[in-house]
Amino acid sequence: MDNILSWITVNQQIIYIVILMIFVGIEVIGRVPSVLHTPLMSGANAIHGVVIIGAIIVMGKAESDNYLALVLGFIAVIVGTLNVVGGFVVTDRMLEMFKKKKK
Amino acid sequence: MELNILTLCYLIGSVTFILGLKMLSNPATARKGNLIAAAGMIIAILGTIFLYEEHGQKLGNYGWIFGGIAIGTVIGFLSAKKVKMTAMPEMVSMFNGMGGACAMLISIVEFNHLVHAYPASELPVGTVLIILLGLIIGSVSFAGSMIAWGKLNGKVKDFSFTGQHIFNIILLLVIVGLAVYLVGWPSDNANIIFYAILALSLLYGVFFVFPIGGADMPVVISLLNSFTGVAAACGGFLYDNKVMLTGGILVGAAGTLLTMLMCKAMNRSLTNVLIGSFGGGSKAGPAGDKEQGSYKEISLSDTAVVMSYASRVYIVPGYGLAVAQAQHACHELEKLLEAKGVDVKYAIHPVAGRMPGHMNVLLAEADVSYEKLLEMEQANDEFPNTDVVLILGANDVVNPAAKTDPSSPIYGMPILDVELAKNVVVNKRSMKPGYAGIENDLFFQPKTSMLFGDAKKVLQDLIAEIKNL
């Protein structure tokens, strides 16, 4: 019990962020008209590509003789970039079409 | 100083993500919102590469990092630019899987660091737990997205066996059990157990999506999308990295809500989807054996006449429209009829096509105006005053069995009540049942006429006929 309580105290900042972000995520999406669902899903998909930062950290601190970290980190950077770049470009293409007919 | 700038970079990143999602919720600002989020992402990535330090040590291996980013950028950019609008859903699923794979790989490397740095009995419990969470969620998301991708482009067929639900639940329990064991009773076997968890999670991802078909695919992609968000947030926990944490949780929460909205649209519970029961085990049953009577066909010229002299026409688009790439022809027909004084609108079912909003994106590509797309409730109110409903390659979303036949697998799903209209013209390639594999009584009703053929070809011929009138 003490363990759990002290864990909460130590990590309270993160716990606050998680809880507040859950509400923000729900609020933000709650007003989306259903016609924008696909672009929104695609945009959210691009945003979770932020996981690439983890991949960069893994790659950047891999020792030069740790082949597992080097190889897996390298693949992780590639697939993470795919997620980010592909996600944003696809979303932009979808939204481009929405914009055109706005005139 | 540099670390403070990095903190600022991450702060900017987090704010742009929230702002971007918010702006994505309005058609007028959506595109800008996407670009803003992308800009924030670039700032966060560059900041990490050049400013990040751990124990006073900067990152190295720049060659590998930039090499990986360059390869990913080229492949991602080209495939996103080249993909056809109809293939958009599977592309999103694919990119989502890549994010899951990234989280999975991070967990593998970090766990490896950990077992080398600590003796088995002193593994830090919290860190191991976070790594395992990232591993399990990331690999389920990766494997599931790949299967969803394969299914959407027809490379993977539906597959299920009796007792699959129980198999899935047991698999999940075993994964959780192993994870608890690894965290609670760390031993020298930690490595073996870790890789067992990885393998089982991948397997679970595959079996999780395998039996699900038809109308559930959008829900699954959305759910996997939020999974990947949570996996990314685990990375944020691991590195105490606020931008990963905020971005990941934001997507996890938003994705979960979107998933639940979709489940609600189909009147099914999330658990029901999670266990993967739709389209699997329960085959359509006796619905096909029922007395169906006969259907009647209508000629192109008759359709042209009926539509030209109607005062209100509704078009119900479905996957058939997407497959045939008929959106431009559809818009042309709409303009032609409008010029003749016919009121033309589109009735969009929330799960028409293979993704929520799939039809909206397609029609937007063809410049169909935003105001002409009616959501299901609005459209259902209008159908009684409608002369002709033209169904283009939609099937399950207009199947009255969802209302009348409790034994039907889609029973309870809200549908477009097209039968309230005076005439229904159904364009299909053949009498084959739709994606859910069930017969549609609508086609045999006296009001309904069938117009067989590829949607694009039929629409082009129809346009020519109307012009000749």
Confidence of residue B44 (pLDDT cuts 50, 70, 90): very high
DSSP string, A9-78: HHTHHHHHHHHHHHHHHHHHHHT--GGGHHHHHHHHHHHGGGGHHHHHHHHHT--TT-HHHHHHHHHHHH
B231 has a pLDDT exceeding 70 = yes
Distance from CA of A12 to the nearest CA of B (A): 12
CB B125 within 8 A of CB B119: no
Separation in Å, CA B436 to CA B125, B153, B168, B375: 46, 16, 22, 22
The answer to whether residue B139 neighbours chain A at the CB level (below 8 Å) is no
User: Which whole number is the average pLDDT over B384-398?
Assistant: 89
> B356 by DSSP, 3-state: which?
coil
Name the pairing type of β-strands B423-428 and B296-297: unpaired
B69/B261: higher pLDDT:
B69
Residues 417-456 (B) with a CB less than 8 A from some CB of A: none
CB B251 within 8 A of CB A47: yes
pLDDT of residue B292: 58
User: Which whole number is the average pLDDT over B150-175?
Assistant: 83
- Quote the percentage of chain B above a pLDDT of 70: 91
Q: Cα(A48)–Cα(A69) distance, rounded to whole angstroms?
A: 22
Tell me the pLDDT of chain B averaged across its residues.
85
Q: By CA distance, what is A65's nearest residue in B?
A: B61
**Is B396 labeled as catalytic in the residue annotation?**
yes
Considering only the beta carbons, identify the residue of A23, A69, A80 that sits closest to B109.
A69
The answer to whether residue B129 neighbours chain A at the CB level (below 8 Å) is no
User: Which whole number is the average pLDDT over A19-39?
Assistant: 82
User: Which whole number is the average pLDDT over B349-356?
Assistant: 74
Neighbouring-strand partners of residue B388: B313, B423
Determine, for residues A85 and B73 on separate chains, whether the beta-carbon distance falls below 8 Å.
Answer: yes
Q: Which of B188, B240, B387, B396 is catalytic?
A: B396
Determine, for residues A29 and B21 on separate chains, whether the beta-carbon distance falls below 8 Å.
Answer: yes
B281 has a pLDDT exceeding 60 = no
B159 has a pLDDT exceeding 80 = no
Determine, for residues A48 and B243 on separate chains, whether the beta-carbon distance falls below 8 Å.
Answer: no
B104 has a pLDDT exceeding 90 = yes
The number of C-beta contacts closer than 8 angstroms across A and B is 373
Tell me the pLDDT of chain A averaged across its residues.
86
**ipTM at complex level:** 0.91
User: Which whole number is the average pLDDT over A61-76?
Assistant: 90
Q: Taking CB atoms and an 8 Å cutoff, what residues of chain A touch B18? A: 24, 28
Beta-carbon contacts of B421 under 8 Å, excluding residues fewer than 6 positions away, are B314, B383, B384, B386, B387, B388, B389, B447
pLDDT of residue B319: 82
Q: A52: which 2 tokens?
A: 């690439």
B70 has a pLDDT exceeding 70 = yes
CB B382 within 8 A of CB B345: yes
B232/A35: higher pLDDT:
B232
The predicted model scores a pTM of 0.78
pLDDT of residue B412: 74
Confidence of residue B279 (pLDDT cuts 50, 70, 90): very low
Confidence of residue B131 (pLDDT cuts 50, 70, 90): very high
- Quote the percentage of chain B above a pLDDT of 90: 37
B348/B212: higher pLDDT:
B348
Confidence of residue B213 (pLDDT cuts 50, 70, 90): low
The answer to whether residue B59 neighbours chain A at the CB level (below 8 Å) is yes
Neighbouring-strand partners of residue B426: B391, B450
pLDDT of residue A101: 46
Long-range contacts of A68-72 (CB under 8 A, 24+ apart): A68/B108, A68/B109, A68/B112, A69/B109, A69/B112, A69/B113, A70/B61, A70/B64, A72/B105, A72/B108, A72/B109
β-sheet with B423-428: strand ranges across? B296-297, B448-452, B423-428, B388-392, B312-317, B343-348, B373-375
Q: Which among B91, B88, B85 is positioned nearest to B327, based on CA atoms? A: B85
Determine, for residues B27 and A14 on separate chains, whether the beta-carbon distance falls below 8 Å.
Answer: no
pLDDT of residue B275: 60
CB B450 within 8 A of CB B430: no
pLDDT of residue B286: 40
Determine, for residues A93 and B28 on separate chains, whether the beta-carbon distance falls below 8 Å.
Answer: no
pLDDT of residue B253: 93
User: Which whole number is the average pLDDT over A98-102?
Assistant: 52
Q: Cα(B345)–Cα(B195) distance, rounded to whole angstroms?
A: 54
B31 has a pLDDT exceeding 60 = yes
Q: Cα(B397)–Cα(B150) distance, rounded to whole angstroms?
A: 23
Determine, for residues A56 and B249 on separate chains, whether the beta-carbon distance falls below 8 Å.
Answer: no
C-alpha dihedral, B458 to A34 to B439 to B275, nearest 10°: 140
Residues 369-388 (B) with a CB less than 8 A from some CB of A: 369-370, 373, 375
B281/A89: higher pLDDT:
A89
Determine, for residues B247 and A90 on separate chains, whether the beta-carbon distance falls below 8 Å.
Answer: no
Determine, for residues A41 and B356 on separate chains, whether the beta-carbon distance falls below 8 Å.
Answer: yes
In the DSSP assignment, the letter for residue B396 is: G
Q: By CA distance, what is A38's nearest residue in B?
A: B357
B246 has a pLDDT exceeding 70 = yes
Distance from CA of B177 to the nearest CA of A (A): 21
Q: Taking CB atoms and an 8 Å cutoff, what residues of chain A touch B61? A: 59-60, 62, 64, 70, 73
Neighbours of B179 (CB within 10 A): 21
Q: Taking CB atoms and an 8 Å cutoff, what residues of chain B touch A94? A: 88, 361, 364
The answer to whether residue B469 neighbours chain A at the CB level (below 8 Å) is no
Name the pairing type of β-strands B343-348 and B423-428: unpaired
Name the pairing type of β-strands B312-317 and B448-452: unpaired
Neighbours of B406 (CB within 10 A): 8
pLDDT of residue B285: 40
Confidence of residue B288 (pLDDT cuts 50, 70, 90): very low
Determine, for residues B38 and A60 on separate chains, whether the beta-carbon distance falls below 8 Å.
Answer: no
CA atoms within 13 A on the CB side of B91: 31
Q: Cα(B391)–Cα(B261) distance, rounded to whole angstroms?
A: 25
B277/B294: higher pLDDT:
B294
Q: Taking CB atoms and an 8 Å cutoff, what residues of chain A touch B67? A: 74
Considering only the beta carbons, identify the residue of B57, B72, B79 that sits closest to A81.
B72
User: Which whole number is the average pLDDT over B236-242?
Assistant: 91
User: Which whole number is the average pLDDT over B88-100?
Assistant: 91
Q: Taking CB atoms and an 8 Å cutoff, what residues of chain A touch B75? A: 78, 82, 86
pLDDT of residue A74: 94
Confidence of residue A79 (pLDDT cuts 50, 70, 90): very high
pLDDT of residue B57: 83
Neighbours of A5 (CB within 10 A): 9
Q: Taking CB atoms and an 8 Å cutoff, what residues of chain B touch A103? A: none
DSSP string, B293-314: ---EE--HHHHHHHHHT-SEEE
Tens-digit pLDDT profile for residues A32-68: 776 677 888 889 999 999 999 999 999 998 888 888 8
pLDDT of residue B13: 94
Q: By CA distance, what is A76's nearest residue in B?
A: B102
Considering only the beta carbons, identify the residue of B77, B248, B350 that sits closest to A34.
B350
B399 has a pLDDT exceeding 80 = yes
pLDDT of residue B354: 67
